[in-house]
Chain A
């Protein structure tokens, strides 16, 4: 039993879990975050609100890590980056579930 995903805008969290070999991002982030926001256990849109409130605490070009385990955050943080013209650096799985979602402040 296997499942292959072909093309498309986005991978679902399940797809990432099911096929770690196909995830584009490396397992470890290349650049350590300047700020980590712990939104574990918080439901969307709270993680996004926390990110929007605090992104300006890092310098332009700096990276913020959002720790979140609401599946909606996996899609919504990158979508927020696109809408707000910040950069989604990558989403890295956390050992106990959820992701560390890295965002670069662009302006």
Chain B
């Protein structure tokens, strides 16, 4: 099986595995207690916090660990909106944010707040001028922008958005889930969120960083853990492993990113050459190093995923028939690109070039077979 779905989850990094096994023995006790084993757990937790903080460009006391990237976004969005209630009630977000941002925004709307969605170009890049304008209008409480899109890989103009937010005095939440550990993180954020399993850490660890001076109030019942930002007992071994993976990825990122990006360039060039009626979507240059998405006309996404699975390839799709909602991906819709026959290929660390060769070898015949089963020749 060739695993080409790193954007869903990256396989556990060997450095994370080693750290996890060691920390399960050394860091199981309650870090909030005062005896020796507890102090050891607390030391491991704080060392991991300091390490993650350094790698994301934050101070340790700005960093909290959550139980997932989704929880980090929910707390980041709702907590900042709660802290800014007197300043305004309008949340500004791009149309292609992760569903965790949009769902938190929907809850905010349900409570009487407002959400303004800023559109994107055909390549999925947010219109920086429209974003700046939306942020500058009175009543903006928070702006949200991802570093890179999770479905098509397009990088967002975060630094321009941060400048506009700074000028307007509006905090900016940057969702770095797809780029943390792969690309240097942008500066200028007020709140940063990320997810460890996307960079090769274990599942169940998210990062919520809130800059000193940003008003934030927990939307949940009071709890003393994680500087009162995240409720519940910390998973210290997983957090230690997450920090180890992020450290290892940061060291490898440049060389491995270059290698994966060259493979993505190859897929972007070869797929339209080998398969007729295909649209490769997303920005060809301003993109994540490891992710490429294309849509095949006259093909059902689900059939394509099933056939690729049979041929030994794990990929994902934004087509509606592959989603529980029966709606196509809001990202592809917002871009105005084909939503059916959609395939997202995202390369994990260490993927072999042979796997890409094989993928390119089997794809044309699979598409041809599915099309002919629908009467398209």
- B340 close to A7 (CB less than 8 A): no
Least Cβ distance of B361 to chain A in Å? 24
Least Cβ distance of A78 to chain B in Å? 7
Within A78-106, the residues touching B (CB, 8 Å) are 78-80, 82-83
- Given A45-B297, A49-B298, A71-B327, A9 contacting B122 (CB threshold 8 A): yes
- B127 close to A6 (CB less than 8 A): yes
Q: Mark B60-104, 1 if CB is under 8 A from A, else 0.
A: 000000000000000000000000000000000001000000000
- B334 close to A8 (CB less than 8 A): yes
Q: Which residue of A lies closest to B320 (CB)?
A: A72
Q: Is A2 an interface residue (CB 8 A)?
A: yes
Q: Which residue of A lies closest to B121 (CB)?
A: A9
Q: Is A66 an interface residue (CB 8 A)?
A: no
Q: Which residue of A lies closest to B96 (CB)?
A: A8
Q: Is B251 an interface residue (CB 8 A)?
A: no
- Given A6-B118, A8-B119, A75-B328, A49 contacting B130 (CB threshold 8 A): no
For A10, A70, A74, which residue has the most chain B Cβ atoms within 10 angstroms?
A: A10
Residues of B within 8 A of A8 (CB): 95, 118-121, 127, 130, 334
Least Cβ distance of B333 to chain A in Å? 5
Range of interface residues on chain B? 35 or more
- B320 close to A44 (CB less than 8 A): yes
Residues of A within 8 A of B298 (CB): 45, 48-49, 52
Q: Which residue of B lies closest to A43 (CB)?
A: B321
CA–CA, A72 to B320, complex, Å? 7
Q: Mark B269-284, 1 if CB is under 8 A from A, else 0.
A: 0000000010100000
Can you report 11 A-B residue pairs in the complex whose CB atoms are below 8 A from each other? A7-B127, A9-B119, A43-B320, A44-B320, A44-B328, A45-B341, A49-B374, A71-B320, A71-B328, A75-B338, A83-B279
**14 additional contacts, CB 8 Å, given A45-B298, A49-B298, A75-B338?**
A6-B127, A7-B127, A7-B130, A8-B118, A8-B121, A9-B120, A9-B335, A10-B333, A48-B297, A49-B376, A76-B328, A78-B336, A79-B338, A80-B297
